[in-house]
Amino acid sequence: MSRALLRAVIPEDEQRRRLWQSDDEIRKLDPCVGKYFGIDEHAIEVASTHIGFCSVSNVTQDEAELGVTIGSKDYWGKGYGADVMNQLTEFCFNSLGVKRVYLKVLYSNMCDSCTKCSYHNRPLLFDAGWTKHRSELLLSGLN
């Protein structure tokens, strides 16, 4: 059973999004914090507390990109990122029918979530949206 609930984003979530976007520590770990506007963006909630955002974007016939941000620092390192990644991965494979999912992760933010979800890491050579961080960027994928 999942510990994190994925729910629709509501107007009250936007205040927290702006707060997390302005937090230097969070922005160092995730330059795109709060900017995931995928086909399927959700708020992440644990015990009725909004702790972050997640999305599925850049969907093609073969692949989809995941985005996960745990903005509430009280919930960092407790397995919620891995839980959300597992939920999104299952959705992509079972509902969207893609063959591969991936996410972009800075080396400085490489955490257990990718390992727990069996994602395989490889350097990303170039992505225009992440150019200033590309020396640190990993593209983690699961086939």
pLDDT in tens, 77-98: 898 988 998 898 889 888 998 8
5, two tokens: 């609930």
Assign residue 22 a region (left: φ > 0; alpha: ψ between -120 and 50; beta: otherwise): alpha
Mean of per-residue pLDDT scores for the chain: 76
In 1-143, alpha helices (H): 13-21, 24-29, 80-91, 112-116
DSSP letter at 96 equals I
CA distances from 13 to 7, 32, 143 (A): 11, 17, 32
Tell me what the mean pLDDT of segment 40-45 comes to. Answer: 90
What is the spatial order of strands in the sheet that 5-7 belongs to?
A: 5-7, 42-46, 49-57, 63-70, 100-106, 137-142, 120-123
Q: What is the pTM assigned to this prediction?
A: 0.77
Residue 44 has pLDDT above 90, yes or no: yes
**Residue 108 confidence (pLDDT):** 59
Q: Cα(67)–Cα(26) distance, rounded to whole angstroms? A: 14
pLDDT in tens, 105-124: 665 555 555 555 555 555 44
Q: Cα(51)–Cα(89) distance, rounded to whole angstroms? A: 19
